[in-house]
Amino acid sequence: MAPETPRQYPLYDATLTLQRISPLYIGSDDALDNATLQIYARQFRDILAGDVLRGVRVGLSEDTVMARVGALQTVTWKLLPDEDVWTGADETQMTGNENTTTSLAASRGMLVTVTYEKGTYTAILLRDMQGDQDESAIGVGLDGRGFQSFPLLLMQMPATLRDPFTEFLANTFDARVSILQLPSAFLATALDQYLAYICVGEDGEPLGSLDSNRSLRKIIGSISAEVGFDIPGGSAALKTIRIHIASEDVPRILSWGKRLGDGPDTPFMAALTAYAKAHLALDLSHAMVNIVGIHCQAFLLNSAGKAKFSLPHVADDGQSPQRRATKRLINGIMTNAKGRVMIAGNQKS
């Protein structure tokens, strides 16, 4: 039998819905490992298979998304290793010989995979790995009452599957889920931070001008900033506009921004704001003007809670500024998720 082609790390090259989730109640006596997660996988599969009779799905309209993907095959629920140790093995197959002793402390979170005949869907629950707490506390939460925190939930699922999964989380773990709407200030800052991260070497020192420009062109490419307007009583025809910056202009705009004023913390957005005000009579810093989307070769983010992260380029020596930058970007999204509270189904700062 030919060797199996390794699967790509599930965070990459997939359009994901970003959701924030309250701590999961695991129970102070339960070890959160692959053996335990297999139980949750079977429970969720039983729910999804409720409308399946002898492998044939019944009770769904032929024009629904799930009616076109065929019969349900497998549901897996496993700890997600960090990408440095990701093997890419087939996550849809469960055998009795698998290592079920991997601890949550050695993982990045949890990966749920739902496989149908003609489609595979995933949900990723990421834990906060910034300044990890004492590993002895992993699995029982910081309050010692059996809660475990996975602040960020990323889902590649249609709504007809996403809703049953979030209901399962609510009923099984007493957890509440809501769409993570990213504010304009976060999107603008995230772009500038990403540009800064990929212009720093492994030793933490800034790259030279030529290396920085090469990194920007190779990793970032062109940039599109989508601008929205919060104008009470304004025309419904004016929704958003898109400002496109060609790849060859990105290094020049970033360099110009660094020379503005006292050296702003967000030089790219400072330069773009100055340019738009001078040439388009558009004040991006106005309270009623919002950045609602950022799209470049490395990632896509928008205020509606959608994201896509490109597979990082890794050099022959194993170095990958893009991987480091993407990991920091995801950590920033997670921090944003943790810092917002839900009230009556809405999110407030």
Asked if residue 336 and residue 301 are part of one domain, the reply reads: yes
Mean pLDDT, rounded, of the chain: 82
Q: Give the number of other CB atoms < 10 A from CB of residue 192.
A: 19
Asked if residue 27 and residue 54 are part of one domain, the reply reads: yes
Beta-carbon-side half-sphere exposure of residue 258 (alpha carbons within 13 Å):
9
**What are 181's two structure tokens?**
């709407």
DSSP string, 172-193: HH---EEE----HHHHHHHHHH
pLDDT for the residue 256:
93
pLDDT surpassing 80 at residue 249: yes
Q: What residues make up the domain containing 40?
A: 16-179
Query: pLDDT tens across 135-189, in order?
Result: 433 443 444 578 888 999 999 999 889 999 999 999 999 999 999 999 999 999 9
Asked if residue 297 and residue 167 are part of one domain, the reply reads: no
Domain boundary among 158, 179, 200: 179
Asked if residue 226 and residue 129 are part of one domain, the reply reads: no
Asked if residue 170 and residue 231 are part of one domain, the reply reads: no
d(CA 349, CA 339): 7
pLDDT for the residue 169:
96
Is 291 inside any structural domain?
A: yes
The model's confidence at residue 52, banded by pLDDT at 50, 70 and 90, is very low
Residue, of 241 and 5, whose pLDDT is higher: 241
Asked if residue 242 and residue 321 are part of one domain, the reply reads: yes
pLDDT for the residue 88:
66
pLDDT for the residue 2:
40
pLDDT for the residue 29:
59
Q: For the chain, how many structural domains are there in total?
A: 2
Residue, of 136 and 89, whose pLDDT is higher: 89
Query: pLDDT tens across 118-129, in order?
Result: 899 999 999 987
pLDDT for the residue 3:
40
d(CA 167, CA 5): 34
d(CA 116, CA 64): 14
d(CA 154, CA 336): 14
Domain boundary among 160, 179, 198: 179
